[in-house]
Amino acid sequence: MERRTARKYLNVRYWSCYVLFNIMFVCGFGLVICKAFQMQVLEHEEWVERGRMQAETVLQVPAYRGSIVDRNGQLLSFSVPQRSLSFSLSPQPPNVSAEQLAPPRRQLAAQLAAVLGEPSRLIEEKLERGRRFVWLKRHLTDVQALAVERLKERLTGKQATPAEKHLGGGVQLVTEYKRFYPHRHQAGQVLGFVGMDGAGLEGIEKSFDQVLREKSCKVEQQRDGVRKCLWMDSDPPPEPHENYGVRLTLDIVLQYICEDELEKAVQQYKARGGEVVVMDPNTFEVLAMANYPSFDPNMADDKRNADVVRNRIITDSFEPGSTFKVFLMSAAIEESVVRERDRVYCENGQVRLAGHNINDVHPYGWLTIPEVIKYSSNIAAGKLALQLGNERYHKYIRSFGFGEPTGIMLPGEVKGLVRPHRKWRPIDLVTTGFGQSIGVTALQLTAGIASIANGGEYGKPTIARETLDADGNVVQEHRSPALRRVLQKRTAEKVRDMMHLVCQEGGTGVKAVPAGYTAAGKTGTAQVMDMVTKRYASNRYTSLFTGFIPADKPRLVITVVIHDPRGASYGGVVAAPVFRNFAARALPYLGVYPTVPESPPASGLRKAEAPSSKGKGAAVVARPPEARPQDKGGRDDKSGKDKGIKRPEPPPVKTAGTAPPSRSPAASREHRPVIEGGKSPPVEKAAAANAPPPKVCSAKVDTRTGVGLD
């Protein structure tokens, strides 16, 4: 009985263990299958990525900052590799205490200070806080980098103490790229500069920073169990390469000539500074853009001077003076306010317009419309502006690009100062006619003259032509948008002929003509506002000359601006020679050779005399004695006496201005009334109706002599 009971219990225990074991086996196998399903199906991508991260790594191949070249491919800015010194300590070993590190740290600071040329105390402070990472000095020279390498070898050598080895392991040399400008100060303000980390901060470097800046590319490679990289490809690993670059419209040869001539003029007249802009009138590409004082982007000290760093051609506005008369004349002719054969009475050099006294440099009587530009009469310009009116004149000012940024791809451009025409007083209209009460930049003035030179079409000035890859292939073109017409071609040709007269004998711009060439332009001498007294200063002027050359087929448009010259102030004396000297050196380089036979310039002066009550006004030429055989009608070959050369008597035409004073009947027949038919009221009555007569003249007048300026 007992045996049966024991056998029965044995069978139960056996089967219980058997069933339990099978259940556990099935459940375990099911768990394995479930886990495998989870890893192989549900979490497949995650585990593949984990395996790839353990077996592969990513190599960062740097792409250093792209280069900047001129229109002919000459390097203007590029990056060069340089070493930088950093310090980063690993965890302190147990066999080295803090007290043991102090003496070697002071010794290391003294040695590094001698190499880097910096105070040892400053280096020691950096070493004390360099537990993770600290820059000791960026962009070392080759000599400094070599000295640091030798010092590091000595600290980590076999004879070094554990404390020295610990500090030597924290000294690291890192390869970085530094920007270099091979032409130094040439086009310095245009190119700009980059910061210590390679980001563009000024000029082209800033405006094209997204194109030029450093960008690293990623390359995958294998690694073994001890995390050592294995390059499995048959090709060698990629090396650091250059990023996209930019080709500018500048010509470095023209830029050099431009800066050279500008520096000579500024130093000759001890001026505060100056600017020159050179532009192609057909494409509106800027060929040269010079500022003085100049700026060298390689020099760290110059970067801290904001007055030197900024590109004043686009950031500073000024009153254009008499150079603005060509735009007034363009608008007046385009709107048929005047014609070429019309004449303006210039009131013998002084008149009261809109309650203010307006003066000319020299007293003139009747002047034809071309002579208004040639002799630069402020009185005639004021009268023409009053006849043109606020709205129409303002429309043409904006059409020529004034009062808004040109859109050139440079940072910091200002729009100038052009007030709404509804806010103009009559005197504002008068003074704007000869370039006061308005602010322009040198680039705006150049673009406006270029639109006259090319036949009346205005375009957006450009400074960048193309984006290039590392091999020099064009990736993207930067072209100026389509030109828009602001003047009829016939009107532009008339104004060009008037500007050509300015550079002929007797004109204010005769000193702007290089030998063998024809030139066209306009001089200007603008008074400068005293910010303390809020009046025009009596001894500060801006001398200007803007024009194009050759006069018949313009190849270059050049604007010269000289600020606060001493000893002379007229634009025809200070700025015009810069135009001449630059053109004489630049045109042969561009393949434009002299076409006019060289001849000694006449030393005489031509002036337009005011009409008198005794006779008719006549244009008289004073001829030198040696010019006797060549003068046709200017000198009697037999008697040797001068003869007055009279301006041909024009037919009765409408003229602009106020009527001249009473004179003989013969003179009255020659000089017609200013406005015929009584359609327009006298200028003085129309202008003084809305403006009280102030005591201070806001016209361009020398307060010392009371004489108007050109």
Task: Quick: pLDDT tens for 150-204.
Answer: 988 888 887 788 888 878 888 889 888 889 999 999 999 999 999 888 889 999 9
The answer on pLDDT for 217 being more than 70 is no
- Lookup result for tokens 């602010």: 439
> C-alpha distances in angstroms, 454 versus 42, 220, 583?
72, 56, 18
Residue 294: other Cβ atoms inside 10 A:
18
| Alpha carbons 411 and 210: distance in angstroms, whole number | 14
pLDDT tens-digit readout, 552-571: 999 999 999 999 999 999 99
Model confidence at 234, pLDDT cuts 50, 70, 90, reads: low
pLDDT tens-digit readout, 478-504: 887 778 999 999 999 999 999 999 999
The answer on pLDDT for 625 being more than 80 is no
Model confidence at 671, pLDDT cuts 50, 70, 90, reads: very low
> C-alpha distances in angstroms, 123 versus 108, 115, 241?
9, 11, 34
The answer on pLDDT for 64 being more than 50 is yes
Find the range with the poorest average confidence among 92-96, 252-256, 690-694: 690-694
Architecture of the CATH domain 60-248: Alpha-Beta Complex (3.90)
Share of the chain above pLDDT 90, in %: 49
| Alpha carbons 224 and 218: distance in angstroms, whole number | 19
Model confidence at 694, pLDDT cuts 50, 70, 90, reads: very low
In the chain, CATH 3.40.710.10 covers 254-593+614-625+632-688
pLDDT value at residue 289:
96
* Pairwise pLDDT comparison (7 vs 643), residue with the higher score: 7
| Alpha carbons 697 and 541: distance in angstroms, whole number | 16
CA-wise closest residue to 509 among 443, 559, 444, 556? 559
pLDDT value at residue 103:
84
Rounded average pLDDT over 583-604: 78
Model confidence at 235, pLDDT cuts 50, 70, 90, reads: low
CA-wise closest residue to 442 among 254, 266, 316? 316
Find the range with the poorest average confidence among 177-181, 367-371, 663-667: 663-667
Asked whether 533 and 485 are in contact (CB, 8 A), the reply is no
| Alpha carbons 572 and 280: distance in angstroms, whole number | 23
Go through 158-189 and write b for each residue having 16 or more CB atoms within 10 A of its CB, e for each that does not: eebeebbbbbbebbeeeebbbbebebebbbbb
Query: SS3 for 27-88, per residue?
Result: HHHHHHHHHHHHHHHHCHHHHHHHHHHHHEEEEEECEECCCEECCCCCEEEEEEEEEEEEEC
pTM: 0.76
pLDDT value at residue 55:
72
Model confidence at 605, pLDDT cuts 50, 70, 90, reads: very low
The answer on pLDDT for 288 being more than 50 is yes
pLDDT tens-digit readout, 576-591: 999 999 999 999 999 9
* Pairwise pLDDT comparison (684 vs 428), residue with the higher score: 428
* Pairwise pLDDT comparison (689 vs 601), residue with the higher score: 601
Query: According to the CATH classification, is domain 254-593+614-625+632-688 in 3.40.710.10?
Result: yes
| Alpha carbons 127 and 89: distance in angstroms, whole number | 9
In the chain, CATH 3.90.1310.10 covers 60-248
